[in-house]
């Protein structure tokens, strides 16, 4: 891999690491968003704990964090593989930002930015699943389902095979982040631990009640 590609991928990670939601919460409400709700530095927690309208600028910036390095790789003639790696690096930066001790978001918004550049039809595909989840009151399993089924869209569009690997990479990052849960400790070994692991994997939370989880405050466990 050429040095230019390595630098672009590294730049994608650093750009993705900009904690947009955290900065918005600090600037408007003077709070650490990691202590609220799910503890993720994400647009969804901005929506729940800052203001509904703030999700628009935060979401657009997070989308752009991955769209820019992905687009730049194509513009520089580096090909779709490097473009994919640069975009996924931005997703990784969003999930594990170097500026916040590697406690970040879940990567959905930056991945949408990657899709806008490499697989434009993947953008509405994922949005439809997220909208269904929003209407039903829990988008986490639907986000997972959108990634699992996206190869069907890629096959139908006869898009480049590298995009299947890109989606697989995003799925892996999503699973890793859900299980790692911003360094939140697991219960002691036993049935409760496996319940939490299962909930994290499929529902992105530690407890059964979704509303109770996303509305948690710092004085709550």
- Give the separation between CA 145 and CA 130, rounded to whole angstroms: 10
**Closest by CA position to 114, among listed 71, 171, 57:** 71
Instruction: Kindly state whether residue 221 falls inside one of the protein's structural domains.
Output: no
Supply the pLDDT for residue 166: 97
Instruction: Kindly state whether residue 84 falls inside one of the protein's structural domains.
Output: yes
- Give the separation between CA 128 and CA 105, rounded to whole angstroms: 20
Cβ(19)–Cβ(97) below 8 Å: yes
Instruction: Kindly state whether residue 161 falls inside one of the protein's structural domains.
Output: yes
Instruction: Kindly state whether residue 220 falls inside one of the protein's structural domains.
Output: no
Supply the pLDDT for residue 117: 98
Supply the pLDDT for residue 217: 85
pLDDT at 129 over 70: yes
Question: 128: how many CB neighbours lie within 10 A of its CB?
Answer: 12
Q: What does the pLDDT look like over 9-56, one tens digit per residue?
A: 999 999 999 999 999 999 999 999 999 998 999 999 999 999 899 999
Cβ(17)–Cβ(99) below 8 Å: yes
Q: Sorting pLDDT into bands at 50, 70 and 90, what band is 220?
A: low
Return the axis-axis angle of helices 162-180 and 191-203, rounded to nearest 10°. 140
The count of C-alpha atoms lying within 13 angstroms of the C-alpha of 25, restricted to the half-sphere facing its C-beta, is 23
- Give the separation between CA 111 and CA 62, rounded to whole angstroms: 9
Instruction: Kindly state whether residue 112 falls inside one of the protein's structural domains.
Output: yes
Q: What does the pLDDT look like over 142-200, one tens digit per residue?
A: 999 999 999 999 999 999 999 999 999 999 999 999 999 999 999 999 999 999 999 99
Instruction: Kindly state whether residue 219 falls inside one of the protein's structural domains.
Output: no
Q: What does the pLDDT look like over 106-118, one tens digit per residue?
A: 999 999 999 999 9
- Give the separation between CA 113 and CA 119, rounded to whole angstroms: 10
- Give the separation between CA 100 and CA 89, rounded to whole angstroms: 16
Supply the pLDDT for residue 27: 94
Burial 70-96, CB ≥16 within 10 A → b, else e: bbbbeeeebebebbbbbbbbbbbbbbb
Domain span holding position 148: 3-214
Q: What does the pLDDT look like over 49-67, one tens digit per residue?
A: 998 999 999 999 999 999 9
The owner of tokens 């916040």 is: 100
> Alpha helix locations (H) across the chain?
3-16, 20-29, 43-49, 55-75, 79-95, 108-118, 122-136, 140-157, 162-180, 191-203, 210-214
Record the pTM.
0.94
pLDDT at 221 over 90: no
Number of domains in the chain: 1
Instruction: Kindly state whether residue 60 falls inside one of the protein's structural domains.
Output: yes
Q: Sorting pLDDT into bands at 50, 70 and 90, what band is 218?
A: confident
Q: What does the pLDDT look like over 70-108, one tens digit per residue?
A: 999 999 999 999 999 999 999 999 999 999 999 999 999
């Amino acid at each position: 891999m050429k040095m230019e590609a390595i630098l672009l991928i590294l730049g994608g990670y650093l750009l993705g690491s900009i904690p947009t939601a955290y900065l918005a919460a600090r600037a408007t409400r003077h709070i650490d968003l990691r202590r609220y709700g799910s503890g993720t530095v994400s647009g969804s927690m901005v929506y729940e704990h800052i203001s509904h309208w703030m999700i628009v600028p935060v979401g657009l910036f997070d989308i752009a964090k991955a769209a820019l390095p992905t687009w730049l790789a194509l513009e520089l003639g580096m090909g779709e593989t490097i473009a994919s790696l640069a975009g996924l690096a931005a997703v990784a930066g969003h999930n594990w930002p170097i500026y916040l001790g590697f406690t970040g978001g879940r990567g959905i918004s930056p991945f949408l930015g990657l899709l806008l550049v490499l697989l434009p039809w993947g953008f509405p595909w994922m949005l439809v699943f997220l909208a269904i989840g929003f209407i039903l009151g829990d988008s986490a399993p639907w986000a997972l389902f959108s990634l699992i089924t996206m190869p069907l869209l890629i096959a139908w569009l006869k898009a480049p095979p590298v995009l299947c690997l890109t989606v697989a990479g995003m799925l892996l990052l999503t699973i890793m982040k859900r299980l790692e849960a911003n360094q939140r400790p697991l219960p002691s070994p036993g049935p409760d631990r496996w319940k939490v692991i299962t909930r994290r994997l499929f529902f992105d939370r530690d407890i059964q009640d979704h509303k109770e989880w996303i509305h948690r405050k710092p004085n709550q466990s």
